[in-house]
Amino acid sequence: MTVKIGLLGFGTVASGVPFLLTENAEKIKQAAQDDIQVAKVLVKDDAEKERLLAAGHKYHYVTSIDDILSDNEIVIVVELMGRIEPAKTFITRALQAKKHVVTANKDLLAIHGRELGAIAKENGVALYYEAAVAGGIPILRTLANSFASDKITRVLGVLNGTSNFMMTKMVDEGWTYEKALQTAQELGYAESDPTNDVEGIDAAYKAVILSQFAFGMTIDFDQVSHKGISSITPEDVTVAQELGYVIKLVGDIQETASGISAEVSPTFLPKNHPLASVNGVMNAVFVESIGIGQSMFYGPGAGQKPTAASVTADIIRIVRRLKDKTIGKDFNEFTRPLQLATAEDVKSDYYFSILTPDVQGKMLRLAEIFNEQAISFKQILQQPSDEKEARLVIVTHSMSKTQLENISKQLEAAHEFQVMNIFKVLGD
Amino acid sequence: MTVKIGLLGFGTVASGVPFLLTENAEKIKQAAQDDIQVAKVLVKDDAEKERLLAAGHKYHYVTSIDDILSDNEIVIVVELMGRIEPAKTFITRALQAKKHVVTANKDLLAIHGRELGAIAKENGVALYYEAAVAGGIPILRTLANSFASDKITRVLGVLNGTSNFMMTKMVDEGWTYEKALQTAQELGYAESDPTNDVEGIDAAYKAVILSQFAFGMTIDFDQVSHKGISSITPEDVTVAQELGYVIKLVGDIQETASGISAEVSPTFLPKNHPLASVNGVMNAVFVESIGIGQSMFYGPGAGQKPTAASVTADIIRIVRRLKDKTIGKDFNEFTRPLQLATAEDVKSDYYFSILTPDVQGKMLRLAEIFNEQAISFKQILQQPSDEKEARLVIVTHSMSKTQLENISKQLEAAHEFQVMNIFKVLGD
């Protein structure tokens, strides 16, 4: 039998799907046990259709979603348009038309995943999206299957290739944020508006999805705090190296006694931490669990073929489940009621970079502020900034988010201190 | 419903299984959809039974396999005794009694895996063994499922924790092989007879199993060449570092135009290669493929809880498949006829460490030997060894196994050269 699929959109990733279906036909046939054929491709207009045909992509193009939804031979709809609309409407209608859906749309899944999952369930069809988190890394299926026996306590991830490329250049080459961004834009890694990548929004979308698979809890996007890399200075990078750390933008989801917390923030990683060697546009997800202990899944976070490989693995899984008559199982079956961690329970070491007039007694005053919150120092470094000012760098021992907030307020109130940056520090 | 399992053996790993079943009951129930209960445990004799009961392990112990095989309530047999016999006989009889089997026994699977797989198939039961390769890393299921869409071209792995612990000490601390081995034995990482670990035999077993999942080909254990770490000297380690490499014992399976080749050997890894940072007893499997490109799966290679987590994931999968009525699917469905690569097709850069009398013309003669085989040098380093001898270190450009063999013979024939070591060098 041949299973027919409809592609929504034919951009870079989409064109990787037929490439893999052809290039790897023998193996895919063994896994899927049926042939898979791209029956129709939805494009924007006739101009796009003509352009694609001229480029040698010989498919049956349609310009209305109805041509795919009303085609009873099409069993699987693969959405690769991106963004929220019209993708959300098209996926909803496809699920309601009892078609299985594969998508790589992380923005959509992070914000409307629960709703779309419910629609899929109602209609007894599959909604798979392995490619939505860390494109080429098969992390979601691994969390759902191989970690079924294990209790995950923390997930740390380098989840955004663009910002990781920039951080790698800032660390290895000493580039400024501005130079790194400009180069990322020139190389096509960053968009002209880089906000989603550099401010941690894209990584926060992925943290929402990872929370569901790793902890069984659907956290709202708004409940994932995110802080980007734009405030990181070459001084921060240098002092991090001196103290034995590498700075990266890290997504961090952990379960505490009171519940889970998720955030994306620039993080000091000890140099020997496996995530510290994840460089350039590569991504990695580091998992801490009571069974396996520490494990890491590393690979490309984006790109045509890596993303297409994940999308195609989802398609194969659906085709096989149709054959086995087990379709309709949720992609992620692990669910618990959401419980958010209290601020007292979320703890970490922190790095403070503080400018202060180079006068007597400043260290005493600073020590008093930290002492009042019962926070002790792990590492202190004083550097002359210019003749009148000094830069104090402090790495603390563990403190809670509550203590962090109190300290921040105190430092703000004490007008002799100018807080340049506060970053999370991962312990050894 | 409750699915009953029988454990064969109750050593360290086996005791981790009930730990996880209890500790993680809620999540396991969601994944398996039935309860799982350890019904009987096979032990050697009454003395072991008494010892385990006294230690607080309250199970129904039996000393004859028949008590488990004839128990119609036991659906899954979990073999964690290790070694070939009696494990092979017990697993065979369990499969013939239509019981599903989970095992972590890599020696057995590497040597008799095909035979046992056929018996499982004949009897319509499952034989799962995720824990057999890189204990805590869910690599086999990932290769079978997530790489179904992808064509793998090469698998490189740090597959043996004991030898990797030793190599890490030899590289980071400058220890000799002897000191590293003694410490590994003191820490319980290495057995009193360390042959399997240090000579690459254990890693070769794992390479056999990885070949099946990654390339669909069952290579015989005898067809995997293996070379251990015992000949590596502190001089090799130092010069590797000077040239920008880290030496590790690496399993390497690749597909060439003529077929696949698999070997385990000390390998120079470029410092920035993801495998180069895999230290201590940790394992990692690095995969190159046409879709994803480069990916790596990192975690503990052994240990009670990591191995138990993989074993328990297999048990859960069987229980769920029973519920879904899809049991009997092969663990690995990807099969192709075995084709071995010709020696001409297996190519690599190589490192040569050669002692020679410190006389005029030696470099000329050496250059002639390599030139006759059309091999060019990438890096050359000459170090005085003592007053009369010099140590020449050469890193070549790519050469085939045929060329390597010819060069080795020539060097042996030329009595002025004493070849100390030849190791594979991974290109950037």
**pLDDT value of residue B62:** 96
* Ranges in chain A annotated CATH 3.30.70.260: 347-425
Rounded CA gap, A235 and B42, in Å? 62
* Confidence check: pLDDT of B193 > 70: yes
- Closest Cβ opposite residue A305 in set B290, B306, B310: B290
* Confidence check: pLDDT of A427 > 90: no
Contact between A28 and B316 using a beta-carbon 8 Å cutoff: no
**pLDDT value of residue A358:** 78
Confidence of residue B150 (pLDDT cuts 50, 70, 90): very high
**pLDDT value of residue A1:** 84
Q: What is the pLDDT of residues A308-325, one digit of tens each?
A: 999 999 999 999 999 888
Contacts of A296 in chain B (CB under 8 A): 296-299
Q: What is the pLDDT of residues B254-268, one digit of tens each?
A: 999 999 999 999 999
φ and ψ of B403, to 5 deg: -60, -40
**Contact A79/A105 with Cβ under 8 angstroms?**
yes
Three-state secondary structure call for residue A120: helix
Contact between A295 and B293 using a beta-carbon 8 Å cutoff: no
* Ranges in chain A annotated CATH 3.30.360.10: 149-300
Which of the pair, A345 or A135, is modelled with greater confidence?
A345
Out of A206, A248, A305, A424, pick the active-site residue.
A206
Average predicted confidence (pLDDT) for chain B = 94
Rounded CA gap, A379 and B281, in Å? 30
Confidence of residue B105 (pLDDT cuts 50, 70, 90): very high
Query: How far is A355 from chain B, CA to nearest CA, in Å?
Result: 36
Average pLDDT over residues B365-378: 91
Three-state secondary structure call for residue A224: coil
Q: What is the pLDDT of residues B7-65, one digit of tens each?
A: 999 988 899 999 999 999 999 999 999 999 999 999 999 999 999 999 999 999 999 99
Q: How much helix, strand and coil, in percent to the nearest 5, is found in chain A? A: 40, 25, 35
Rounded CA gap, B94 and A420, in Å? 66
The answer to whether A389 is a known ligand-binding residue is: no
Amino acid at site B313: A
Rounded CA gap, A400 and A254, in Å? 14
Q: What is the pLDDT of residues A129-164, one digit of tens each?
A: 999 999 899 999 999 999 999 999 999 999 999 999
φ and ψ of A419, to 5 deg: -75, 115
Range A2-136+304-324: architecture per CATH? 3-Layer(aba) Sandwich (3.40)
Range B149-300: architecture per CATH? 2-Layer Sandwich (3.30)
Among the listed residues B358, B372, B360, B359, the one whose alpha carbon sits nearest the alpha carbon of residue B413? B372
**Contact B128/B318 with Cβ under 8 angstroms?**
yes
* Confidence check: pLDDT of A428 > 70: no
* Ranges in chain B annotated CATH 3.40.50.720: 2-136+304-324
Contact between B289 and A312 using a beta-carbon 8 Å cutoff: no
| Share above pLDDT 70 across residues of chain A, in percent, rounded to a whole number | 100
| Closest chain A CA to residue B281 | A294
Rounded CA gap, B6 and B40, in Å? 5
Can you say whether the dihedral through the CA atoms of B355, B360, B363, B367 is positive or negative?
Answer: negative
Average pLDDT over residues B411-425: 93
Judge whether B206 counts as a catalytic residue.
Answer: yes
Three-state secondary structure call for residue A4: strand
Confidence of residue B212 (pLDDT cuts 50, 70, 90): very high
Rounded CA gap, B227 and B244, in Å? 22
Q: Provide the pairing of β-strand B260-270 with B245-255.
A: antiparallel
Rounded CA gap, A218 and A417, in Å? 40
**pLDDT value of residue A85:** 94
Amino acid at site A237: V
| Closest chain B CA to residue A331 | B31
* Confidence check: pLDDT of A290 > 90: yes
Rounded CA gap, A133 and A251, in Å? 12
Among the listed residues B346, B299, B311, B332, the one whose alpha carbon sits nearest the alpha carbon of residue B158? B299
| Closest chain A CA to residue B293 | A306
Q: What is the pLDDT of residues A51-95, one digit of tens each?
A: 999 999 999 999 999 999 999 999 999 999 989 999 999 999 999
* Confidence check: pLDDT of B202 > 70: yes
What does the DSSP assignment read for A144-206? HHTTTTS-EEEEEEE--HHHHHHHHHHHHS---HHHHHHHHHHTTSS-SS-HHHHTTHHHHHH
**Contact B354/B411 with Cβ under 8 angstroms?**
yes
Contact between A317 and B147 using a beta-carbon 8 Å cutoff: no
Rounded CA gap, A247 and A171, in Å? 7
∠ CA B392-B396-B401 to the nearest 5 degrees? Answer: 115
Confidence of residue A229 (pLDDT cuts 50, 70, 90): very high
- Which tokens hold the place of B15? 């005791």
**pLDDT value of residue B428:** 62
Report the binding-site residues of B.
106, 191
Average predicted confidence (pLDDT) for chain A = 94
* Domain B347-425 sits in CATH 3.30.70.260: yes
Cβ contacts from A onto B, under 8 A: 202
How many CB atoms sit inside 10 A of residue A426's CB? Answer: 19
Rounded CA gap, B363 and B400, in Å? 23
- Closest Cβ opposite residue B309 in set A26, A292, A315: A292
Amino acid at site B242: E
| Share above pLDDT 90 across residues of chain A, in percent, rounded to a whole number | 87
Average pLDDT over residues A364-371: 90
Contacts of A30 in chain B (CB under 8 A): 216, 333-335
**pLDDT value of residue A388:** 80
**pLDDT value of residue B382:** 86
Average pLDDT over residues A194-202: 96
> What element of type H or E holds A401?
helix A401-413
Q: What is the pLDDT of residues B116-147, one digit of tens each?
A: 999 999 999 999 999 999 989 999 999 999 99
User: Per residue in B348-380, is it b (16+ CB within 10 Å) or e — as a string?
Assistant: bbbbbbbbbeeeeebeeebeebbeebebeebbe
Contact between B333 and A30 using a beta-carbon 8 Å cutoff: yes
Say which DSSP state B47 is in.
H
What does the DSSP assignment read for B57-73? ----EESSTHHHHT-TT
Contact between A313 and B274 using a beta-carbon 8 Å cutoff: no
Confidence of residue A362 (pLDDT cuts 50, 70, 90): confident
Confidence of residue B100 (pLDDT cuts 50, 70, 90): very high
- List, in order, residues 6 or more apart from A315 with CB less than 8 Å away: A5, A17, A32, A36, A76, A78, A102, B149
φ and ψ of A379, to 5 deg: -145, 140
CA-based radius of gyration for chain A: 24
- Which tokens hold the place of A269? 């990683």
Confidence of residue B1 (pLDDT cuts 50, 70, 90): confident
Q: What CA–CA distances, in Å, run from B132 to A427, B306, B346?
A: 32, 12, 27
* Confidence check: pLDDT of B324 > 70: yes
